[in-house]
Amino acid sequence: QRRGFERSYGHRAGAENLKRVTEACSMIGVKYLTVYAFSTENWKRPTAEVSQLMQLFVEFFRKYDAELEANNIRLRFTGRIQELPQAVQDTINEAESGSFARTGMQLIIAFNYGGRQEIIDAAQRIAAAVEAGKISANEVDEALVTKHLYMPDVPDPDLIIRSSGEMRISNFLLWESAYAEFWVSDVLWPDFDRATLYKALYDFNGRERRFGGV
């Protein structure tokens, strides 16, 4: 939009760039890559734009799997998947089941995802377990909350990269990002190339992570 193009053009360009960034991360040994594709707040966008995004999602991921398979990349999705249109849910189920056995990098697409919503959903599951007598209230700790998140088997992120100069977290991985490092680039996502990615990783590798210590 900053360049005078329709937003739909930017969405498609961004989707194509996902391929390049994913391949680059896989080649250098990144084990988990989570991409924030559609937030729970994005439903507030114009109806026509949301509809285009859902259609793009289905088209893109049905074609993309062959490239992921060639690189042994497993594809997963996180968020309130059950609230998405059926065609999107079907695409997600096909993609996840088809790539389940792959042993390379895990590409995680956060779609209809919100950090607060994830914590609420975890709290509700824990409350239900307490009410059912499966656990007691004094057993609730960080480990138990983590166990009830959308993807308890995925480690917390080491680095969160923001493109387009955005200086906010935007409801992304609120629980998981407690000790994550942040790196912000003015480069727009469709232009976020390998050189920019490597710059972020180089900077990250030079940092001293204290995890609350000294």
Q: CATH code at 175?
A: 3.40.1180.10
Given the structure tokens 């609420």, which residue do they identify? Answer: 120
Q: Is residue 207 part of a domain?
A: no
* Residue 210: per-residue pLDDT: 77
Alpha helices in the chain, H assignment, sequence order: 7-27, 47-70, 86-99, 115-131, 142-147, 194-205
Q: Is residue 1 part of a domain?
A: no
* Residue 129: per-residue pLDDT: 98
* Residue 4: per-residue pLDDT: 56
* Residue 5: per-residue pLDDT: 54
Closest by CA position to 209, among listed 189, 182, 171, 187: 182
* Residue 166: per-residue pLDDT: 92
Q: Is residue 155 part of a domain?
A: yes
* Residue 91: per-residue pLDDT: 98
Spatial CB neighbours of 113, under 8 Å, sequence gap ≥ 6: 36, 38, 39, 40, 78, 79, 80, 150, 172
Per-residue confidence in pLDDT tens, the chain, 214 aa = 555 557 778 899 999 999 999 999 999 999 999 999 999 999 999 999 999 999 999 999 999 999 999 999 999 999 999 999 999 999 999 999 999 999 999 999 999 999 999 999 999 999 999 999 999 999 999 999 999 999 999 999 999 999 999 999 999 999 999 999 999 999 999 999 999 999 999 999 998 877 776 5
**Number of domains comprising the chain:** 1
Q: Is residue 64 part of a domain?
A: yes
Rounded to two decimals, what is the model's pTM?
A: 0.93
What is the extent of the structural domain holding 190? 7-200
Spatial CB neighbours of 53, under 8 Å, sequence gap ≥ 6: 11, 38, 42, 45
* Residue 211: per-residue pLDDT: 73
Q: Is residue 205 part of a domain?
A: no
Long-range contacts of 83-87 (CB under 8 A, 24+ apart): 83/112, 84/54, 84/111, 84/112, 85/54, 87/54, 87/58
Q: Is residue 211 part of a domain?
A: no
* Residue 87: per-residue pLDDT: 98
Q: How many helices (H) and strands (E) does the chain have?
A: 6, 5
User: Hey, what are 16's tokens?
Assistant: 């194509």
H helix or E strand, kind and range, residue 74: strand 74-78
* Residue 52: per-residue pLDDT: 97
